[in-house]
Amino acid sequence: MQQVNLGMIGGGTVGSGVFHALQLNGGLMASRIGVKVNVRKVAVKAFNEPRPYPISRSLMTTDWQSVVNDPQVDIVTELVGGTGIARTMVLTALKLGKPVVTANKALLSAHGEELFAAAKKYGTNLYYEASVCGGIPIIKSLREGFVGNRINALYGIVNGTCNYILTRMKLEGADFAAVLADAQKHGYAETPPDLDIDGHDAAHKIGILASLAHGFWVNPKKIHVEGIRQISALDIKFAGELGYTIKLLGIIKRIGGGCQVQVSVYPTLVPNAHVLASVNHVFNAVFVRGDIVGDTLFYGRGAGKDATASAVLSDLADAALDLKSGSKQRVPPFVPHECAGAVVPIENVVSQYFLRLNVVDRPGTLAKIAAIFGAAKIGISSVIQPEGHEGKSVPLIFMLHYATNGAVNGALKKIGRLPVVKGKPVMLRVENFE
């Protein structure tokens, strides 16, 4: 049986997970593809660093360059993370003509165009299934499975930490801060948690998916990003009364029939009847709407050593098969095919809205707020106002009809200046998947 030698950079949680998975199922994979993947070297930060699975000491080195430059290493995996030294590692391997498998979403988001260009220039390939949604094969599906479809919409729950927090807030009626602290205690959230709860991790993934779906590389700075810090138990409660569940959604949506695309990450009210509303705890899901295939759903674990290792093994199999056939770029990492594509500014995106205000309950309050919405030509579909609190500060909930984000934000600035409105208004968008 033909054999290819693997050089691994990174032997921590993900790296040792990949090593363990190869030990466990490497023979199975070889029997299926006709090529054995043999681990030749593993570059680590330190020989004694904590790792969930052991790696043979004889395979380890602290010199990553010795792994990449080894003439007997055929494929390189980059599993160290970050956008600094990882970029150098990947570029070094690509310049040597060696295919690279990476799980590094932040690196691809920041430097994807450069890395794909390097792969093309040096006649090799870059595989990155593990960079988005762990074990869910969404990259391969967009590049290959849906190659004959225009992707009209994609909605993703792609950050397990946020989904875990929002799920517990809904099930327990708990506040954000308490659930976050507990999530950190149990290892579901990092310390500090900013990358996850402020939406940036989700934005890295959604940017990659948007680029693949629409054929132009999405600049991360063009993605509108909001996190979940402002979500309260009250928002969860009132959304539930209205028939919705709040999820942090990555949204990629074709606007009109052209090449204009919405690419956003923000907390969204999802109808309880929709399948995404029932995706709970640390699980991820990606809902894809193609013009030919219709609606499809991908569901599974989006992170963790084993789910990520599964995706890395899938890429290793592809890389080994490409080497076996002598065609390193059978499926290029990214093919730009929509030069006129552009991301629509969030101000121009049309949505429905959930709005929570904290107001002084006195006669005329609702009329003043409604007048501002009316002047902005924003329709109100429903209002929830608790009774029996006259003269006190109470929540006032609005559901608004379709309007642009710019119009709604302009109205909210005026509403926020009313003396009867206390604190900053909370505005969440509503997605009905129409």
Q: Is 324 one of the annotated active-site residues of the chain?
A: no
Dihedral of alpha carbons 371, 373, 378, 384, sign: negative
- Contact of 153 with 253, CB cutoff 8 Å: yes
DSSP-assigned states of every residue in 221-270: GGSEE--STT--HHHHHHHHHTTEEEEEEEEEEEETTTTEEEEEEEEEEE
Residue 175: exposure state from Cβ atoms within 10 A (0-12, 13-18, ≥19): middle
Query: Which residues are paired to 61 by β-bridges?
Result: 43
* Residue carrying the six token digits 């013009």: 291
Q: Quick check: 328 and 126 in contact, CB under 8 A?
A: no
Cis-peptide into 192, omega within 30 deg: yes
Q: CA–CA separation, 145 vs 151, rounded Å?
A: 12
Beta bridge partners of 301: 283
Residue whose pair of structure tokens reads 């929570």 in the numeric block: 356
CB neighbours of residue 23 within 10 Å: 14
**3-class secondary-structure state, position 434:** coil
**What is the sign, positive or negative, of the torsion defined by CA atoms of 409, 410, 413, 414?**
negative
Candidate list 205, 247, 253, 305, residue with the active-site label = 205
In sequence order, which ranges of 337-392 are alpha helices (DSSP H)? 365-375
Cβ contact 139:214 at 8 Å: no
Token pair in block for residue 320:
């080994």
Specify the pairing of strand 350-360 against strand 426-430: antiparallel
The Cα–Cα gap between 97 and 262 comes to: 36
CA gap 334, 283 in Å, rounded: 27
Residues with active-site annotation: 205
